[in-house]
Amino acid sequence: MKNLVILGAGSAGTMMANHLSKRFRKNDWTITVVDIHGKHYYQPGFLFLPFGIYGEEDCFKSKTNYLPKSVQYIQTGIVEIKANDRKVVLVGGKNLNYDILIIATGARIAPEEVEGMKGTEWHKSVFDFYTFEGAKNLRNKLRDWEGGKLVVHITEMPIKCPVAPLEFAFLADWHFQKKGMRDKVEIKYVTPMDGAFTKPKAASKLGHFLEDKNINLVPDFAIAKVDNENKKIISWDNKEVDFDLLVTVPTNMGDDVIMRSGLGDDLNFVPTNKHTLQSEEYEDIFVIGDATNVPTSKAGSVAHFEAEILTDNILRYIDGEPLLESFDGHANCFVETGFNKAMLIDFNYETEPLQGVFPFKGIGPMKLLEENRVNHWAKLGFRWVYWNMLMKGKKILFITPQMQLAGKELPTKELEEEKFVAV
C-alpha cells in the first residue's frame, strides 16, 4: 500500500482528491488530505459579499462534504514538510510518510508586509476583501458609510484573481449609484502597474471603462506605508493619496509552512515546472493552484485546468512514463462590470486576452473582452458549477484544459501563422 498526501483542501486540493480517488485502485494507494480549516470558502463570493449581493451563507460549505469518502481527512495544522525524508510533520507530533506529495496550500494575504497596513485603522477604515472576515467587515462598514474618498488599491503583484480589485471598483460605482449617493463618493484606483489594463488588446478595448464610470486612475504607485493617523497611503517616491475608506489587496504570499520547510521563493511560492506541475526540486512533489510560482493568474479556473493535467501526470509518474508538458497557463475568468453585466476573458502563457466568443466559434453565447448580461448570469450560475461539477472533478463539456484559439479574433500575424499551419 502506497501513500499519496495532499496538503490543503481548498479548490485545488479538493479537485485532486476527487480526480485521484476515481483513478486509483483502492488496494494500491491511500489518499490522505490535511487541512487546518473546516470551511471551504467560495472565494469568488468575497467580491459580492461587501455589496450585499451575496449573503455570508453563500460563501462557504463544509470541506468534508466535497471530499470523497474513500480519502482519509485529517483536520490539523502542518508543522513542516521534510522533503528529503518524504514525510510531513503535523501539529501534535504525528508524522505522515508519503510516496507522492501534492502541495495545494494556496496563498494568503500578508498585510504585515507593508508598514502601517495592519495598523490602528485595520478593518475600521482600511479593509481587505480577500478574506471572509475582511469582506464581511467591509459590508458592515458600507451599510452606513456616508461617502467620501474611496481608494481601491493593489499593493504588489502577483495577487489572486488579478481582476478582482478592478471588479470591486466597478461594483462600488454601481452600488453607490443604486443607493443614490454616487455624487458623495470619489473613487480612486491605485495600482503599482502603469494602468488598470496592462495588456495591449484589453487596454485599447477597455481603456474607456474607468472614465465612463468616473473612476480616477493613479498608476505607478508603489506603496511604502499606510499613515493611519492622517488616513493616507504614501509611495516610495513620496506621492500621497488621501482616503476615507481604503480597500486594499495586500501582498499575497504562499503558506508559512512552505517557508518553514525551505521549499519556497521569497513570497513562499513553490518553484514549479510551469508545464508539468512537478516541483523543480523534488520529483515526488507536485504543486497545484495558488501555491505554485507558475507565471499565470492565481485563480480557481487555473487550478481546475491544472487538476486535469496533474491527474494524468501523477498516473504517468507512478507508471514511470515521461510527464506531459501540457499545462499552457490557461485561465478563464469572468470580470464583473456592474449593472448586471460582465465580461469574460480567456488566455494562457502565450496569448493575451482577445476579443471573440466562447466557447463555440461563431455562436458564443458568451462574449470575450466585451460586457453583456449573458456573461453576468453565467458568472452567477458558476457558483453551482463550482460546487457541483468542478469540486467533484467532473469535466465541463466543451471547455478544455488547453486554451483554444477558435472563436477568438486574432491579430493579423497570429492569424497568418494559423492559416499556415492549416495548409
User: Contact between 222 and other proteins (CB under 8 A)?
Assistant: yes
Q: Given CA atoms 400, 356, 165, 270 in this order, what sign does their dihedral have?
A: positive
User: Contact between 293 and other proteins (CB under 8 A)?
Assistant: yes
- Tell the smallest beta-carbon distance from residue 297 to other proteins (Å): 5
- Tell the smallest beta-carbon distance from residue 403 to other proteins (Å): 13
- x/- contact string, 247-266, with other proteins (CB under 8 A)? ----x-------------xx
Q: How far apart are CA 59 and CA 172, in angstroms?
A: 19
- Tell the smallest beta-carbon distance from residue 159 to other proteins (Å): 9
Q: State the cell numbers at 391.
A: 469540486
Question: Beta-carbon neighbour count of residue 98 at 10 Å?
Answer: 22
Q: State the cell numbers at 104.
A: 495545494
Please list every residue from 330 through 349 that binds other proteins, using CB under 8 A. Answer: 331, 333, 335, 345, 347
Q: State the cell numbers at 68.
A: 470523497
Please list every residue from 66 through 125 that binds other proteins, using CB under 8 A. Answer: 113-114
User: Contact between 267 and other proteins (CB under 8 A)?
Assistant: yes
- Tell the smallest beta-carbon distance from residue 251 to other proteins (Å): 7
Q: How far apart are CA 318 and CA 101, in angstroms?
A: 12
Please report the beta strands in 51-160, taking only residues with DSSP state E, as ranges in sequence order.
60-62, 72-74, 78-82, 87-90, 95-97, 100-103, 107-109, 126-127, 148-154
Please list every residue from 18 through 57 that binds other proteins, using CB under 8 A. Answer: none
Cβ distance 136 to 123 under 8 Å? no
Which listed range, 20-28, 38-46, 294-302, 394-402, lies at the site for other proteins (CB under 8 A)? 294-302
- x/- contact string, 169-208, with other proteins (CB under 8 A)? ----------------------xxxx--xxxx-x---x--
The DSSP symbol for 24 reads S
Please list every residue from 295 through 324 that binds other proteins, using CB under 8 A. Answer: 295, 297
- x/- contact string, 355-384, with other proteins (CB under 8 A)? --------------x---------------
Question: Which is closer to other proteins, CB of 130 or CB of 197?
Answer: 197
Structure-derived torsion over alpha carbons of residues 217, 174, 111, 266, reported in degrees to the nearest 10: -60
Q: How far apart are CA 261 and CA 81, in angstroms?
A: 5
Question: Which is closer to other proteins, CB of 139 or CB of 330?
Answer: 330
Please list every residue from 268 through 287 that binds other proteins, using CB under 8 A. Answer: 271, 274
Structure-derived torsion over alpha carbons of residues 403, 409, 413, 417, reported in degrees to the nearest 10: 50
Backbone angles phi, psi at 203, to 5 degrees: -60, -45
How many residues of this chain interact with other proteins, rule: CB under 8 A?
Answer: 39
- Tell the smallest beta-carbon distance from residue 158 to other proteins (Å): 5
Cβ distance 5 to 32 under 8 Å? yes
Please, which residues bridge with residue 286 across strands?
Answer: 102, 278
Please list every residue from 141 through 170 that binds other proteins, using CB under 8 A. Answer: 156-158, 162-163
Which listed range, 93-101, 124-132, 180-188, 219-227, lies at the site for other proteins (CB under 8 A)? 219-227
Q: Given CA atoms 155, 160, 163, 167 in this order, what sign does their dihedral have?
A: negative
For the chain, the straight-line distance linking the first and the last C-alpha, in angstroms and rounded, comes to: 51
- Tell the smallest beta-carbon distance from residue 2 to other proteins (Å): 31
Give the 3-state secondary structure of residue 76. coil
Length of the chain: 423
- Tell the smallest beta-carbon distance from residue 108 to other proteins (Å): 17
User: Contact between 237 and other proteins (CB under 8 A)?
Assistant: yes
For other proteins, the binding residues (CB under 8 A) are 113-114, 156-158, 162-163, 191-194, 197-200, 202, 206, 220, 222, 224, 236-237, 251, 265-267, 271, 274, 293-295, 297, 331, 333, 335, 345, 347, 353, 369
